[in-house]
């Protein structure tokens, strides 16, 4: 990894993490913390989605299944087996990643629209499972008692802990998508994204690489889901497997510029800010999703390269620094 340390982009990510962690903490600004927590969540979801979408060229409409399943496994372990939060989060990540690897080897035989449809099918299937699985409380879901925050020093301090963990997950997501992008594995994925048949003939082990990418992109969203639902102390199928969030992650990745690390993070942050504004404004509160739809249309039609595509074409020298 020392080679990575010499690259400026490594330090840019470090700076972003530091700003996220310190700015709300310094003023003890709870309101800002909550808004940045959501931004960190969006950045996590979009960055991991980007590994499949932007690198390997596979449109995953169901990336939310990792988030929801991670949430369920974590909350369940905390609630039913009294596992500590940290361990539950790691277990959720590993379990979801392993499941994704198995699913991936199956559904990644499909391409294009068929793959996209299959990913929605996976969400529906997992949601139906959660609704009928008694240990997970069926359709009613799982409630956590407020006592679970005690090991973290009570609710007020627990929320800070959760926030810092979410920022760490975001940071790891950025580093992961960056590390993949500049690796041989990433080169193989990019080749698959450009022309899968040609990539296979050049020797890229396509089924394995796609499944690994799918699995790798499942880990951190699962951990983020664990944190998110632990924080809310409540999880139910319709929240955990909400396709809206999946779609938003796609919009965000396209908005920022799929295939880039910076763009996707920037897109996620801007989208979250916009969404926050719209939700709280009286005129727009009901139109938030309409707007994301319109946004997606505009991007697809006029800015296929997203924000970063625009930046790269205006300032080509940024290509060397911003991945």
Partner 1 sequence: MTALLDLQKLAKRFGGLQAVHNLSFTVEEGEILGLIGPNGAGKSTLFNLINGVYPPDSGRIVFRGTDITGERSYRIAHHGLARTHQIVQPLTNMTVLENCTVGACFGRESLPLARASEVAREAIAVAGLEDRASMLALHLTIAGKKRLELARALAAQPLLLLLDEVLAGLNPTEVEHMIGVIRRIRERGVTILMIEHLMQAIMNLSDRIVVLNFGEKLAEGLPAEVARHPQVIEAYLGDPKLAAELQREP
Alpha carbon 117 to chain centroid, angstroms: 19
Rg (CA), the chain: 19
Instruction: Check residue 318 for interaction with partner 1 (CB under 8 A).
Output: no
Query: Which residues are within 8 A (CB) of 311 and not within 5 positions of it... i.e. 6 or more apart?
Result: 257, 263, 318, 322
Instruction: Check residue 179 for interaction with partner 1 (CB under 8 A).
Output: no
Residue closer to partner 1, measured from CB, 194 or 318: 194
Instruction: Check residue 199 for interaction with partner 1 (CB under 8 A).
Output: yes
- d(C-alpha 110, C-alpha 124), whole Å: 18
Residue closer to partner 1, measured from CB, 58 or 271: 58
| Residue 2 CB, nearest approach to partner 1 (Å) | 14
Instruction: Check residue 195 for interaction with partner 1 (CB under 8 A).
Output: yes
Q: Please name which of 45, 22, 44, 46 lies closest in space to residue 33, comparing C-alpha atoms.
A: 22
| Residue 208 CB, nearest approach to partner 1 (Å) | 9
Q: Please name which of 112, 35, 50, 56 lies closest in space to residue 272, comparing C-alpha atoms.
A: 35
Q: Judged by CB under 8 A, which of 16, 148, 165, 204 binds partner 1?
A: 204
Q: Say if residues 313 and 1 touch (Cβ distance below 8 Å).
A: no
| Residue 199 CB, nearest approach to partner 1 (Å) | 7
- d(C-alpha 12, C-alpha 2), whole Å: 16
Residue closer to partner 1, measured from CB, 170 or 204: 204
- For partner 1, which stretch binds (CB under 8 A), given 22-30, 78-86, 139-147, 200-208? 200-208
Query: Applying CB under 8 A, which residues contact partner 1?
Result: 183-184, 187-188, 190-191, 194-195, 197-206
């Amino acid at each position: 990894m020392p080679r990575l340390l010499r690259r400026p982009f490594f330090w840019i990510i470090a700076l972003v993490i530091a700003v996220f962690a310190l700015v709300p903490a310094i003023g003890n600004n709870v309101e800002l913390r909550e808004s940045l927590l959501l931004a960190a969540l969006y950045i996590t979801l979009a960055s991991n989605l980007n590994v499949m979408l932007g690198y390997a060229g596979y449109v995953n409409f169901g990336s939310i299944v990792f988030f929801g399943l991670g949430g369920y496994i974590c909350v369940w372990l905390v609630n039913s087996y009294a596992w500590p939060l940290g361990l539950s989060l790691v277990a959720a990540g590993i379990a979801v990643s392993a499941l994704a690897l198995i699913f991936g080897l199956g559904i990644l035989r499909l391409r294009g629209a068929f793959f996209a449809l299959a990913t929605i099918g996976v969400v529906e299937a997992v949601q139906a499972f959660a609704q009928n699985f008694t240990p997970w409380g069926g359709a009613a879901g799982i409630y956590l008692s407020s006592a679970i925050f005690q090991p973290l020093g009570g609710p007020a301090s627990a929320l800070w802990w959760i926030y810092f963990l979410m920022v760490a997950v975001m940071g790891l997501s950025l580093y992961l998508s960056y590390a993949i992008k500049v690796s041989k594995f990433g080169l193989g994925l990019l080749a698959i994204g450009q022309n899968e048949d040609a990539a296979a003939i050049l020797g890229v082990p396509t089924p394995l690489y796609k499944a690994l990418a799918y699995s790798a992109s499942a880990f951190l969203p699962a951990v983020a889901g664990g944190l998110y639902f632990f924080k809310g102390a409540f999880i139910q199928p319709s929240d955990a497997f909400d396709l809206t969030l999946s779609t938003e992650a796609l919009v965000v990745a396209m908005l920022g510029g799929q295939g880039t690390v910076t763009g996707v993070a920037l897109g996620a942050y801007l989208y979250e800010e916009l969404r926050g504004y719209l939700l709280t404004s009286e005129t727009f509160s009901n139109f938030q999703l309409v707007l994301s739809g319109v946004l997606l249309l505009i991007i697809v039609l006029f800015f296929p390269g997203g924000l970063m595509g625009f930046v790269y074409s205006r300032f080509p020298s940024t290509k060397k620094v911003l991945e």
